[in-house]
Amino acid sequence: MIKYSNGKSYSPKQIKKTEDKKTVSLKRHLSSANRGMDLEEDINASNEYYRERDLCLITKRPTPINIVKVDYSKGAIITNAYFEKQSTTDYNGVYKGRYIDFEAKQTKSKTSFPLANISKHQIEHLKKVLKQGGIAFFIIEFVLRDEVYLLDAKYVIDCYENGDRKSIPYEKFVEVGHKIKRGYAPRLDYLPVIEEIYGKN
């Protein structure tokens, strides 16, 4: 019996059977310190996968940084700077000529996604994207469920502005959202979901 750090014990046979699904999940639980980065890394890796194969071209916007001081004596080392708030969303790009724009979020809640996770700036930005006819959505991970959903921005904005709740229940994601498959390559295959939802219009 092999004891995993989640406290459970498995026989080698059990491990082999469940390996595909559980190993990925276990690896995520084990590296809880890095959990915040998993979703971003998965999306970046998928974007690279798509880029190499010319399936679409979507990239993460660099974090805006306000530079106070640069030391030019040894090249150009920034010695004083601070993080600025992103006034847009984290990801954008192009797919079949259409503009794609989305924000990636995570929640440790199993029952709902807190709308406080979204800043007003991001809502304003996505509204303007929609006004210009762009494709806009959220990719939201329920970390403890190891499930990732794509949810159209119109729906999220409506909840944010007109809803009487401070969160979107998990059930709504199942009902209105689209689950994104996790795998080896690409790690988070969200492009087929975009094609499915937005492909015809």
Q: Which residues bind its own copies (CB under 8 A)?
A: 51, 54, 56-57, 59, 61-65, 75-84, 87-88, 92-101, 125, 128-129, 131-134
Question: Quick one: 29 or 51, whose CB is closer to its own copies?
Answer: 51
Name the minimum Å distance from CB 25 to its own copies: 30
DSSP one-letter code for 176: H
Cα 68 to Cα 73, 78, 83, 84, 91: the distances in Å are: 16, 8, 11, 12, 26
Which residues are within 8 A (CB) of 167 and not within 5 positions of it... i.e. 6 or more apart? 109, 112, 113, 114, 115
Name the minimum Å distance from CB 42 to its own copies: 19
Name the minimum Å distance from CB 59 to its own copies: 6
Question: Quick one: 95 or 160, whose CB is closer to its own copies?
Answer: 95
Residue 42: how many CB atoms within 10 A of its CB?
Answer: 23
Name the minimum Å distance from CB 83 to its own copies: 6
Question: Quick one: 1 or 76, whose CB is closer to its own copies?
Answer: 76
Residue 74: how many CB atoms within 10 A of its CB?
Answer: 6
Name the minimum Å distance from CB 53 to its own copies: 11
Question: Quick one: 92 or 107, whose CB is closer to its own copies?
Answer: 92
Pairing between β-strand 147-152 and β-strand 178-179 as defined by DSSP bridges? antiparallel
Question: Quick one: 128 or 179, whose CB is closer to its own copies?
Answer: 128
Name the minimum Å distance from CB 30 to its own copies: 26
Which residues are within 8 A (CB) of 88 and not within 5 positions of it... i.e. 6 or more apart? 61, 101, 121, 122, 125
Instruction: Say how many Å lie between the first and final Cα of the chain, rounded.
Output: 54
Cα 100 to Cα 93, 126, 155: the distances in Å are: 5, 11, 16
Question: Quick one: 61 or 110, whose CB is closer to its own copies?
Answer: 61
